[in-house]
Structure 1
Amino acid sequence: MNPLNILRDAFFFFSRNISLITRLCLPLVVLECVTRAALTSQLDPAHAPAYGMLIGLVFYPLYSAALILLLDARSQNHRPRIRDLLAASLPIWPSFAVLAGLSTLLIMLAASVFVLPALWVMVKLAFAEYLLVLRGLTPLQAMRESFQLTTGHFWSLLACVLLVIVPLWLLDNSTLRLVGEQPDVIDRLLLDCVNSFLQLFSTVVLFRCFMLCTPQATQDSTSH
Structure 2
Amino acid sequence: MPMNPISILRDTWFFFSRHIGTLLPLCLPWIVVETLVQRQIDVAAGSQNFAPWGMAAGLVFYPLYTASLILFLIDRGEGRERGVRELWNAALRLWPAFALLSALSSLLILVGLSLMVLPGLFIMIKMAFSEFLLVQRGHTPIDAMRESYRLTTGHFFLLLTTALAILAPVWLVEGWISQTAEDSPALGVVLHSASGFFQLMLTVAAYRIFILAPEPEA
Q: With the length of structure 1 as denominator, give the TM-score of the two structures.
A: 0.91
The separation in 2 between residues aligned to 1:97 and 1:73, in whole angstroms, is 22
What does residue 192 of structure 1 align with? 192
What does residue 130 of structure 1 align with? 132
The separation in 2 between residues aligned to 1:112 and 1:183, in whole angstroms, is 31
For residue 211 of structure 1, what is the amino acid of its counterpart? I
What does residue 107 of structure 2 align with? 105
What does residue 36 of structure 1 align with? 38
Alignment partner of 1:90: what SS? helix
The separation in 1 between residues aligned to 2:28 and 2:173, in whole angstroms, is 19
What does residue 218 of structure 1 align with? none
For residue 88 of structure 1, what is the amino acid of its counterpart? A
Q: CA deviation at 1:183?
A: 3.0
Q: CA deviation at 1:185?
A: 1.3
Q: CA deviation at 1:44?
A: 2.7
For residue 199 of structure 1, what is the amino acid of its counterpart? Q
- Cα gap change, 1:214 to 1:25, in 2 (>3 Å): farther
Kindly provide the CA deviation profile for residues 64-116 of structure 1, in whole angstroms up to 9, marking residues without a partner as x: 00100000111123221111111111111011011101111111101111121
User: Higher relative contact order at CA 8 Å, sep ≥6: structure 1 or structure 2?
Assistant: 1
Q: Give the conservation status (yes or no) of the 8 Å contact 2:129–2:206.
A: yes
Alignment partner of 2:48: what SS? coil
The separation in 1 between residues aligned to 2:178 and 2:95, in whole angstroms, is 32
What does residue 52 of structure 1 align with? 54
> Once structures 1 and 2 are overlaid, which stretch shifts more, 36-45 or 144-153?
36-45
The separation in 1 between residues aligned to 2:58 and 2:183, in whole angstroms, is 22
Q: How many percent of aligned residue pairs carry the same amino acid?
A: 43
What does residue 141 of structure 2 align with? 139
For residue 93 of structure 2, what is the amino acid of its counterpart? P
Q: CA deviation at 1:214?
A: 5.1
For residue 25 of structure 1, what is the amino acid of its counterpart? C
What does residue 118 of structure 1 align with? 120
Alignment partner of 1:140: what SS? helix
Alignment partner of 2:44: what SS? coil
What does residue 219 of structure 1 align with? none
Equivalent residue runs for 1:85-100 within 5 Å: 85-100=87-102
What does residue 63 of structure 1 align with? 65
For residue 197 of structure 2, what is the amino acid of its counterpart? F
Q: With the length of structure 2 as denominator, give the TM-score of the two structures.
A: 0.94
What does residue 183 of structure 1 align with? 183
The separation in 1 between residues aligned to 2:114 and 2:38, in whole angstroms, is 24
Kindly provide the CA deviation profile for residues 156-197 of structure 1, in whole angstroms up to 9, marking residues without a partner as x: 1111111111111112223444x26x3321122112111111
Residues matched between the structures, number: 213
Alignment partner of 1:41: what SS? helix
The separation in 2 between residues aligned to 1:154 and 1:44, in whole angstroms, is 38
The separation in 2 between residues aligned to 1:163 and 1:123, in whole angstroms, is 14
> Once structures 1 and 2 are overlaid, which stretch shifts more, 131-140 or 189-198?
189-198
Kindly provide the CA deviation profile for residues 110-154 of structure 1, in whole angstroms up to 9, marking residues without a partner as x: 111112111111110000000001111110000000000001111
The separation in 2 between residues aligned to 1:173 and 1:139, in whole angstroms, is 32
- By percentage of residues, which structure has more helix? 2
What does residue 206 of structure 1 align with? 206
For residue 49 of structure 1, what is the amino acid of its counterpart? A
The separation in 1 between residues aligned to 2:89 and 2:214, in whole angstroms, is 26
The separation in 2 between residues aligned to 1:11 and 1:200, in whole angstroms, is 11
Structure 2 alignment gaps of length 5 or more = none
Structure 1 alignment gaps of length 5 or more = 216-224
